[in-house]
């Protein structure tokens, strides 16, 4: 029995049907079937998402809000329905707690910039971890410079896990903000976000969670997490690029100053002053990515239509199979061995440069990512310049994992 057949006969997750929903997976690269293992960078899109964006532009394209015509009404209805879809997906209390952004990066910049103006003061501390993406480091560096606050970093252990005892020690009455990733994009480590938030609240710190790598792999309930802010990107959730979400508790969003100024985010304007619109529009200056929001809602509909528990188990099987094959190769060095992690395989092959490995894999139709993965401080902590990263999603198969290692075996002959 082939690995693919074994998965199909599990009766909880029909991988053959799932793959049929993603047209790009049928593509060939250099005359070979595409093996797409760069899902931590961006996911492929199901046909339902492609159709939703096409249908919007074909049938409902208009600007939203205040339009005095049918097309604008239709576009507004789709746009706000998409906001409600996101609300339900992450279990936010109110739809106006959902702010549309370009992605996680803009969302974190929005929070950091606003808190630097309204909340941070000299002597405050901002607590992040050593595994953060640049998008959850640099905005806080700038916020610290602008406010006189200090950036503090929680270290990780040799497995790539947050050293929780040190995290608790670093928390103190000066800690104003705790900004942590839910899942490491470079290592796959799943952080104890609920516990992080719980301890942060004991010192009245504002909590900001980077959920870019989490939402496609595990359920997220922001009310259960009790975080103040949660951010993610649509394109890592099988949705379009250029659309993202900032969730914020209503009171926190009310206190936060707007990030950009212009149309839509104002209530009134004179040449002397302006007043801001109500939530969520206070943070949505200019014409939004309407088609992107519609596409993201379609991606959420797609995820809600499949067996998500089965998908999680499937990804776990892929990772277990990957690790078993990695152990059979004596020149594979794995980075990120946390007990609780997503299906990210970050590694080096002997003394070979990651980009050389990636190039040779691409010649065999295998798409991976190489480099520092926008986590240069983490790579410095690990004493390396970067890794090769294969990241799996619900549409990948065990056969593809086996083909990755067959390709790596061939790479060895060239290096």
User: Cα–Cα distance between 301 and 295 in angstroms, integer?
Assistant: 10
Could you tell me whether strands 344-349 and 387-391 are parallel, antiparallel, or unpaired per DSSP bridges?
antiparallel
DSSP element (H, E) containing 371: strand 369-371
Predicted pLDDT at 338: 97
Residue 53 clears pLDDT 90, i.e. is over it: yes
Give the separation between CA 55 and CA 15, rounded to whole angstroms.
27
Say what percent of the chain tops pLDDT 90: 94
Whether 2 has a pLDDT exceeding 90, the answer reads: no
State the pLDDT at residue 9. Answer: 38
Average pLDDT over residues 123-138: 98
Instruction: Say if strands 369-371 and 387-391 run parallel, antiparallel, or are unpaired.
Output: antiparallel
Give domain limits for the chain. Answer: 3-33+307-414, 50-304
DSSP reduced 3-state for 19: helix
Number of Cβ atoms within 10 Å of the Cβ of 400: 22
Task: Provide the pLDDT for residue 66.
Answer: 82
Instruction: Tell me what pLDDT residue 3 has.
Output: 34
User: In this model, does residue 38 exceed pLDDT 80?
Assistant: yes
Of 369 and 263, which is predicted with more confidence?
369
Count of C-beta atoms within a 10 Å radius of residue 295: 29
Q: Label residue 115 by pLDDT band (50, 70, 90).
A: very high
Residue 373, φ and ψ in degrees, nearest 5: 60, 35
Place of tokens 């490491």: 184
Residue with the larger pLDDT of the pair 332 and 9: 332
CATH class of 3-33+307-414: alpha beta
- Per-residue model confidence as pLDDT tens digits over 69-94: 999 999 999 999 999 999 999 999 99
pLDDT recorded at residue 316: 97
Check if the beta carbon of residue 314 is closer than 8 Å to that of residue 394: yes
CATH of 50-304, one of 3.40.640.10, 3.30.70.20, 3.40.50.620, 3.50.30.40: 3.40.640.10
| Residue 157 pLDDT exceeds 90 | yes
Q: Write down the H helix ranges in 202-246.
A: 222-225
Does 148 score more than 90 pLDDT? yes
Residue labelled with tokens 């997503």: 342
**Taking CA 221 as the corner, what is the angle to CA 220 and CA 222, rounded to the nearest 5 degrees?**
110
Tokens 């659309």 belong to 243
Q: What is the pLDDT of residue 13?
A: 87
Burial, 208: exposed, middle or buried (Cβ in 10 Å; 0-12, 13-18, 19+)?
A: buried
Partners of 190 in beta bridges: 183
Instruction: Give the chain's end-to-end CA distance (angstroms, integer).
Output: 33
Q: Which of 218, 227, 322, 374 is catalytic?
A: 374
Confidence of residue 5 (pLDDT cuts 50, 70, 90): very low
pLDDT value at residue 11: 52
Tokens matching residue 270: 């004179």
- C-alpha distances (whole Å) from 235 to each of 46, 192, 254, 308 are 12, 24, 28, 18
Per-residue pLDDT band for 12 (boundaries 50, 70, 90) equals: low
Q: How far apart are CA 339 and CA 397, in angstroms?
A: 22
Closest C-alpha to 394, from 285, 318, 323: 318
Q: What SS3 state is found at 148?
A: coil
Tens-digit pLDDT profile for residues 316-366: 999 999 999 999 999 999 999 999 999 999 999 999 999 999 999 999 999
Q: Token match 């938030």: residue? A: 197
pLDDT tens for residues 198-251?
999 999 999 999 999 999 999 999 999 999 999 999 999 999 999 999 999 999
CA nearest neighbour of 209 among 187, 191, 239, 182: 182
Given this model, what pLDDT does residue 249 score? 98
Other Cβ atoms less than 10 A from the Cβ of 153: the count is 17
What pLDDT shows up at residue 67?
81
Measured CA to CA, the distance from residue 204 to residue 200 in angstroms comes to: 6
Please state, in angstroms and rounded to a whole number, the distance separating the CA atoms of residues 41 and 394.
Answer: 15
* Residue 374 annotated in active site: yes
């Amino acid at each position: 029995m082939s690995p693919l057949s074994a998965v199909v006969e599990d009766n909880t997750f029909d991988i053959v049907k799932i793959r049929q929903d993603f047209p790009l997976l049928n593509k060939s690269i250099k005359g070979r079937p595409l093996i797409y293992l760069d899902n931590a960078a961006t996911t492929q899109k199901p046909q339902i998402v492609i159709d939703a964006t096409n249908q919007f532009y074909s049938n409902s394209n208009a600007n939203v809000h205040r339009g005095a015509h049918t097309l604008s009404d239709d576009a507004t209805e789709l746009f706000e329905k998409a906001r409600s879809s996101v609300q339900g997906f992450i279990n936010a209390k109110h739809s106006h707690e959902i702010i549309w952004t370009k992605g996680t990066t803009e969302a974190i910049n929005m929070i950091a910039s606003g808190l630097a103006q309204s909340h941070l003061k000299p002597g405050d501390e901002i607590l992040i971890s050593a595994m953060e993406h640049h998008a959850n480091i640099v905005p806080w560096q700038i916020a610290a410079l602008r406010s006189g606050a200090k950036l503090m970093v929680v270290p990780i252990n040799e497995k790539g896990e947050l050293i929780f005892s040190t995290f608790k020690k670093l928390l103190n009455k000066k800690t104003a903000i705790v900004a942590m990733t839910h899942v490491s994009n470079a290592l796959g480590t799943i952080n104890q976000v609920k516990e992080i938030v719980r301890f942060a609240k004991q010192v009245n710190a504002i909590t900001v969670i980077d959920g870019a790598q989490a939402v496609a792999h595990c359920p997220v309930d922001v009310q259960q997490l009790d975080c103040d802010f949660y951010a993610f990107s649509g394109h890592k959730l099988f949705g379009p690029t250029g659309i993202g979400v900032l969730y914020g508790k209503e009171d926190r969003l009310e206190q936060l100053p707007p990030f950009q100024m212009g149309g839509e985010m104002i209530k009134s304007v004179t040449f002397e002053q302006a007043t801001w619109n109500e939530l969520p529009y206070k943070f949505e200056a200019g014409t939004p990515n309407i088609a992107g929001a519609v596409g993201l809602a379609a991606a959420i509909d797609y995820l809600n239509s499949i067996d998500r528990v089965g998908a999680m188990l499937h990804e776990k099987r892929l990772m277990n199979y990957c690790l078993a094959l990695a152990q059979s190769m004596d020149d594979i060095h794995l980075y990120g061995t946390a007990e609780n992690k997503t299906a990210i395989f970050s590694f080096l092959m002997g003394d070979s440069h990651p980009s050389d490995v990636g190039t040779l894999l691409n010649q065999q139709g295998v798409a991976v990512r190489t480099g520092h993965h926008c986590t240069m401080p983490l790579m410095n902590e690990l004493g390396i310049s970067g890794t090769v990263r294969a990241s799996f999603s619900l549409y990948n198969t065990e056969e593809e994992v086996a083909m990755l290692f067959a390709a790596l075996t061939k790479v060895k002959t060239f290096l």
